[in-house]
Structure 1
Amino acid sequence: MSRIKEFNLPDLGEGLTEGEILAWLVKVGDVIELNQPIVEVETAKAAVEIPAKWAGQVRSIFHPEGATVEVGTPIIAIDTEPGAGPVEEPAAATAIPAAAEAAPVEAAIAPGLTGGPAPGGRTAVLVGYGPRTTAAKRRPRKGAVPAQASAPVAAPAPVTAAPVAPVAPVAPAANGRGGALVLAKPPVRKLAKDLGVDLAGLTGSGPLGSITREDVQRAAAALAAAEPLTVTAPVTAGASFGADREQRIPVKGVRKLTAENMSRSAFTAPHVTEFLTVDVTRAMKALDRLRGRREWRDVRVSPLLLVAKAVLLAVKRHPMVNSTWAGDEIVVKDYVNLGIAAATERGLIVPNIKDAGRLTLRELADALTDLVQTAKAGKTTPADMSAGTLTITNVGVFGVDTGTPILPPGESAILAFGAVREMPWVHKGKVKPRQVTTLGLSFDHRIIDGELGSTFLRDIGDFLADPEAALLAWT
């Protein structure tokens, strides 16, 4: 077995087919350890550090920073026995100029070859996802075709690779992929393309097993339920513009997924937004008393903590709000994966706290702190941003009073929490300065009618108006 091993870009999350290399954390000649981070890669969902699969010495790096690489493509070669002497160069080796390193090395999608599942059906995965026992299924990329697999690299400079015979392509069926014929009318095919649904993976409910619009919409809803909401940052100040005073920004990564998710949500779920202005003076005083307690002195306490607790308690009173529209049924969830928007260098991302409804107030405070710190450090994983059920967007930190947020795909409600300001307010029959905020709740009107949405928002407001009394009455 060759001591030079090529490490392929692993599957960084279901449905992702490529990633952009943000930064190499090692260079040719470095001696690395097992599981040492070697490269930072950005996908449509997150920026993640990929650990080394083997210990050894870096012999070659196949792609420069900024290159977009397909999943399964070799990205680095590692000499697993650097002290065993020089490596023999294969007689039929073909040199690859250093300038060509930016060109992607396509991997053959075939069992037993680079990029395909290994014998036994196991595939390479990122740490934290665990091995799968079946072949990975990914959405096909436009124009993607099987290509040659690269062979082990023989020397560090120039990079060499032994030629491998191309894999014989599988004859396509009528659906453009291998496998059975897909029956669907042209309008249905267009709908599937617009929603990002793979027809080959659906079972049709129409005549002769044909796929209908309802089949596609159900699949799109299920897909949307597994995708998180992400928001990107605007063009930075001082950006370089061309002679025509215009700047062209490629739509990819987080920005591309954001656009797809928001367009799908805006044109699929009928949005309704309601607003409520609340006197939160008692809530702010309660936070001050909480900070003064000995056991809370080292805990980060903010108004967002009380808003999150209010949402979780209101969900218990109105569980239908925590649900998903799935075509011919509504899926009501007994757990709340609470999404919280967090500002990072990559823009706003929305990781979620898993099963947040089961946490105590102290545990919720710690979870919020960990979530924000992890996001700002750029360590949020795709798993942390998937499967959200309800979201809070804290626009108040930007000095904004409220907004009309768009639903994350697969969720039925999202709450905008505005800035807390001192304002004149009628309190006990007199106009006094009070701490006031405005809440904005957007919801899916297919699931949540006006009465339910209004009652849910009113309960959140009642909690924030007097959190101590609400805790005694509701729990």
Structure 2
Amino acid sequence: MSATMIKEFRLPDLGEGLTESEILSWKVAVGDTVTLNQVIAEVETAKAVVELPSPFAGTVAVLHEQAGSVVEVGKPIVSFEVDDAGASPSGVPGSDGGASGGVAPTGSPLEATGKREPNLVGYGAVVERSGRPARRQRGFDGGVAEREPVRESVPVVEPTTPLAVPAEPTAEQERPRSTPPVRKLARDLGIDLGLVTGTGPAGLITRSDVQDFAAGPQVQILGRVDAPTAVPAVGISAERETRTPIKGVRKFTAAAMVQSAFTAPHVTEFLTVDVTPTMELLTRLKASREFAGYKLTPLTIAAKAVLIALRRNPTLNSRWDEAAQEIVQFNYVNLGIAAATPRGLTVPNIKDADRMTLLELSSALSELTDTARSGKTSPADLTGGTISITNIGVFGIDAGTPILNPGEAAIVALGSVRRAPWVHNDELAVRQVMSLSLSFDHRLVDGEQGSKFLADLGAILSDPATVMTMI
């Protein structure tokens, strides 16, 4: 009979040095039997919602964190009971058998055999047969060497991180520590958490603490002292304001937009064009047998037009390298598409979009938008963009001044297509008109270059046959 052992799994870095993630939901419970790489949880990083696979095959022994908790990278989230024979080698990132940063220690089975062990999504590189060193990761609890020096500073503690509570917090210093579900329960019951004493670890306020306080003889309701115990009537909100924690995708987006707005000198230009020929082309393509079953929209045609215009104006497909004091011009196009999701704005990108046919681009756009709306965009699809499009026309907006996606030189905003009076063939006629907005980084793109790009884009959309003179 084989012996069993407890293996602890710590939250890994799911991409680009992110420091924390929120556990949205557990897909397993204590006592469940899991297999290697079975999805055990759904977590939200600052960029995307990611499914977390199990690094072990065994039985769930302990869930260290509740759904809704914001957990620092490197903190234990679940423990497994595994057989000695089925336990993962010490080189598996996040296990307690080795370096939590994901580098196999000397003498490990991975190094001895040269065999590639399971490498979970976003957990960092492992040693290949070629003998190349693994990507250096951050260590935790005295982990991997070669860590970057730690600056001496007072840590900033998120209100929703129960494991990072400083000793003896006071009400004047910060909000009471609790998880999002507990705060919601308190709001529903009209309870001020500042009056509740937490019995959880490091003073964490638990669900039972709130329920016990609500059952007491006196409750402070919505900040009023000496108010009687009461529960707001169903369908009636007694709150005068609603507070939503800034975290996850929205927190990352806000920081990125502030950085972009105050780092890159933005210039925005506008051009209104008659897109009636493009809309007529769109109607013909939809009716063609080649595009049967494909989703074609004005965005599809506009995206292709942007890619063609970039060939003639490549300076807009570049970035500013401050450290090297260089302008980096890309010889490929990863086309970002701004997508509004329930969790905030994301800008996933289509890799090597410039090499795609219109048919391939249509398919890629459909897949990108469906994935973004479902919240399943991978961190890899959210990085590496070179230029972006935001389709504000779907909201009935004509024009705007879009903010650059950090690291990119330009972004195009597509306005709504409207029927409007327009001079056509020297006569006044009702035509389909669209406004284009182009914001660009004036460090990289001169006004002439930005204007030429916008003019080329407008020429293609006002007369698709113009492409014949451009390529």
Given the two structures, how large is their TM-score scaled by the length of structure 2? 0.71
Aligned to 1:470: 466
Q: Deviations over 1:13-64 (max 9, x none)?
A: 0121111101111112222222221101111111111111222222221100
Q: Please give the alpha-carbon distance, in whole angstroms, between the structure 2 residues aligned to 1:431 and 1:451.
A: 31
Q: Please give the alpha-carbon distance, in whole angstroms, between the structure 1 residues aligned to 2:404 and 2:451.
A: 17
> Could you tell me whether the CA contact under 8 Å between 2:35 and 2:56 is conserved in 1?
yes
Report the alpha carbon displacement of residue 266 of structure 1 after superposing the two structures with TM.
1.0
Aligned to 2:309: 314
User: Does 2:326 match 1:329?
Assistant: yes
Report the alpha carbon displacement of residue 73 of structure 1 after superposing the two structures with TM.
2.1
Q: Deviations over 1:214-264 (max 9, x none)?
A: xxxxxxxxxxxxxxxxxxxxxxxxx98966723333222222212221111
> Could you tell me whether the CA contact under 8 Å between 2:13 and 2:122 is conserved in 1?
no
Q: List aligned pairs for 1:278-427, cutoff 5 A.
A: 278-327=273-322, 328-427=325-424
Aligned to 2:256: 261
Residues 397 and 169 from structure 1, CA distance in 2 versus in 1: closer, same or farther, beyond 3 angstroms?
A: closer
Q: Please give the alpha-carbon distance, in whole angstroms, between the structure 2 residues aligned to 1:18 and 1:64.
A: 15
Report the alpha carbon displacement of residue 419 of structure 1 after superposing the two structures with TM.
0.7
Q: Please give the alpha-carbon distance, in whole angstroms, between the structure 2 residues aligned to 1:52 and 1:275.
A: 50
Q: Please give the alpha-carbon distance, in whole angstroms, between the structure 2 residues aligned to 1:293 and 1:15.
A: 47
Query: Which among 277, 283, 298 is matched to residue 272 of structure 2?
Result: 277
> Could you tell me whether the CA contact under 8 Å between 2:10 and 2:95 is conserved in 1?
no
> Could you tell me whether the CA contact under 8 Å between 1:401 and 1:437 is conserved in 2?
yes
User: Does 2:41 match 1:39?
Assistant: yes
> Could you tell me whether the CA contact under 8 Å between 2:30 and 2:61 is conserved in 1?
yes
Aligned to 1:119: 105
Code of the aligned partner of 2:436: L
Q: Deviations over 1:114-133 (max 9, x none)?
A: 55644149999642666244
CA-based RMSD: 3.3
3-state SS of paired residue (2:21): strand
Report the alpha carbon displacement of residue 169 of structure 1 after superposing the two structures with TM.
13
Residues 111 and 413 from structure 1, CA distance in 2 versus in 1: closer, same or farther, beyond 3 angstroms?
A: farther
Report the alpha carbon displacement of residue 135 of structure 1 after superposing the two structures with TM.
5.5
Residues 269 and 346 from structure 1, CA distance in 2 versus in 1: closer, same or farther, beyond 3 angstroms?
A: same
Q: List aligned pairs for 1:136-285, cutoff 5 A.
A: 136-137=136-137, 147=141, 176=150, 245-285=240-280
> Could you tell me whether the CA contact under 8 Å between 1:11 and 1:125 is conserved in 2?
no
Report the alpha carbon displacement of residue 426 of structure 1 after superposing the two structures with TM.
1.1
Q: Please give the alpha-carbon distance, in whole angstroms, between the structure 2 residues aligned to 1:168 and 1:282.
A: 62
Structure 1 residue runs without a partner (length 5+):
85-106, 141-145, 148-166, 179-188, 194-238
> Could you tell me whether the CA contact under 8 Å between 1:425 and 1:433 is conserved in 2?
yes
Residues 129 and 340 from structure 1, CA distance in 2 versus in 1: closer, same or farther, beyond 3 angstroms?
A: farther
Report the alpha carbon displacement of residue 398 of structure 1 after superposing the two structures with TM.
1.0
3-state SS of paired residue (1:415): strand
Aligned length: 367
Higher mean alpha-carbon deviation, 26-35 vs 276-285, is at 26-35
Q: Please give the alpha-carbon distance, in whole angstroms, between the structure 1 residues aligned to 2:460 and 2:293.
A: 25
Q: Please give the alpha-carbon distance, in whole angstroms, between the structure 2 residues aligned to 1:378 and 1:82.
A: 37
Q: Please give the alpha-carbon distance, in whole angstroms, between the structure 2 residues aligned to 1:472 and 1:389.
A: 25
Structure 2 residue runs without a partner (length 5+):
87-92, 111-116, 127-132, 157-186, 191-221, 224-238
Aligned to 1:67: 69
Code of the aligned partner of 2:7: K
> Could you tell me whether the CA contact under 8 Å between 1:11 and 1:124 is conserved in 2?
no
> Could you tell me whether the CA contact under 8 Å between 1:424 and 1:431 is conserved in 2?
yes
Given the two structures, how large is their TM-score scaled by the length of structure 1? 0.70
Q: Please give the alpha-carbon distance, in whole angstroms, between the structure 1 residues aligned to 2:451 and 2:426.
A: 26
Report the alpha carbon displacement of residue 309 of structure 1 after superposing the two structures with TM.
0.5
Residues 404 and 169 from structure 1, CA distance in 2 versus in 1: closer, same or farther, beyond 3 angstroms?
A: closer
3-state SS of paired residue (2:240): coil
Aligned to 1:186: none
Q: Please give the alpha-carbon distance, in whole angstroms, between the structure 2 residues aligned to 1:108 and 1:333.
A: 36
Q: Please give the alpha-carbon distance, in whole angstroms, between the structure 2 residues aligned to 1:287 and 1:118.
A: 54
3-state SS of paired residue (1:424): strand
Query: Which among 445, 449, 452 is matched to residue 448 of structure 1?
Result: 445
> Could you tell me whether the CA contact under 8 Å between 1:111 and 1:119 is conserved in 2?
no
> Could you tell me whether the CA contact under 8 Å between 2:7 and 2:95 is conserved in 1?
no
Q: Please give the alpha-carbon distance, in whole angstroms, between the structure 2 residues aligned to 1:78 and 1:281.
A: 62
Code of the aligned partner of 1:255: R
Report the alpha carbon displacement of residue 444 of structure 1 after superposing the two structures with TM.
0.6
3-state SS of paired residue (1:3): strand
Aligned to 1:154: none
Code of the aligned partner of 1:61: L
Identity %: 53
Residues 169 and 380 from structure 1, CA distance in 2 versus in 1: closer, same or farther, beyond 3 angstroms?
A: closer
Code of the aligned partner of 1:433: V
Aligned to 2:233: none
Report the alpha carbon displacement of residue 176 of structure 1 after superposing the two structures with TM.
4.6
Q: Deviations over 1:316-339 (max 9, x none)?
A: 101111001113211011011100
3-state SS of paired residue (2:290): helix
Aligned to 2:80: 78
Q: Please give the alpha-carbon distance, in whole angstroms, between the structure 1 residues aligned to 2:367 and 2:248.
A: 25
Q: Please give the alpha-carbon distance, in whole angstroms, between the structure 2 residues aligned to 1:114 and 1:395.
A: 44
Report the alpha carbon displacement of residue 369 of structure 1 after superposing the two structures with TM.
0.9
Q: Please give the alpha-carbon distance, in whole angstroms, between the structure 2 residues aligned to 1:464 and 1:248.
A: 44
Q: Please give the alpha-carbon distance, in whole angstroms, between the structure 2 residues aligned to 1:63 and 1:137.
A: 24
Q: Please give the alpha-carbon distance, in whole angstroms, between the structure 1 residues aligned to 2:144 and 2:263.
A: 38
Q: List aligned pairs for 1:427-438, cutoff 5 A.
A: 427-438=424-435
Q: Please give the alpha-carbon distance, in whole angstroms, between the structure 2 residues aligned to 1:3 and 1:9.
A: 20
